[in-house]
Amino acid sequence: MYWVVLIASGVLEAVWATALAASKGFRRPWPVVVFAVSITLSLLGLAWAMQEIPVGTAYAVWVGVGAVLTVLVAVLRGEEKLDVKRALVLMALVGCVVGLKVVS
């Protein structure tokens, strides 16, 4: 259950990062609301998961999931380009996250 919450918290990291960018420096109210709610839930989930999962592993998984999904959202929205090099690095990051789960 801790791993499910940790992964969900990583997904929420992508939500708050995307909302933060959409807020245009906290000048747009709805993205600010989405940011505030999602960052709160993301950090609460991370903190809860750290009760059972070691801090280094939990943080690395949380950041990895959030980073990969944030990039993918930006690519899907046409805000960033995904070339072969970036795709390989993202796949390596996912592999590292999976590897941390396997060895934990």
pLDDT at 101 over 90: no
pLDDT at 26 over 80: yes
Burial of 66 (0-12, 13-18, 19+ CB in 10 A): buried
What's the mean pLDDT in 39-51? Answer: 98
| Range of the structural domain that residue 64 is part of | 2-103
Distance separating alpha carbons of residues 38 and 35, to the nearest angstrom: 5
Q: How many domains does the chain have?
A: 1
What's the mean pLDDT in 60-74? Answer: 95
pTM of the model: 0.89
